[in-house]
Amino acid sequence: MSLHKAFILLGSNQGQRKEFLQKARLQIDEQCGSISSESSLYETAAWGNTRQEAFLNQVLVISTTLRPDELMSTLLEIEAALGRVRTEKYGPRTIDLDILFYDDLVYHSSIVTLPHPAIQDRRFVLIPLQEISPDKVHPVYRKTITTLLNECADQLEVKKI
């Protein structure tokens, strides 16, 4: 089995946000693959539905043997185990786990689209990504994370904590 490099975004804006991120990191490390790198934590204004609490966000890099659909299914199981209930789009959540990149794969299935289709539009994704992998090239846009961040129109506050 070959190892794949996946970038995963963690987010929480309900309850004990740091604890939810910590529990998610432990579950990801146990069930998905070993964490090789992690960004700082960032407090970020809610995106999409702005009438809710701020998020804590973090990006992890993992080495995984899981295929993209298996990895996404496992992340959804971790979300459910940590109390995630999907009631409204962009609504508050205990934990949100998204695959940003999986190697340099461009892929779409019923459960996941890779790379994540909104990376280039969201500073709360690009800033922690830039911290740990500034020269990573987006496989669709063929631009580095640093370039995408410089071009990003999103102006919501993203604050390292």
Residues labelled catalytic: 84, 93, 96, 98
CA 141 to chain centre: 18
Inter-residue contact 106 to 114 (CB < 8 Å): yes
For residue 96, the surrounding DSSP H or E stretch is: strand 96-102
Inter-residue contact 20 to 5 (CB < 8 Å): no
DSSP 4-65: EEEEEEEEE-SSSHHHHHHHHHHHHHHHT-EEEEEPPPEEE--SSS-SSPPEEEEEEEEEE-
Extract the tokens encoding 70: 């298996």
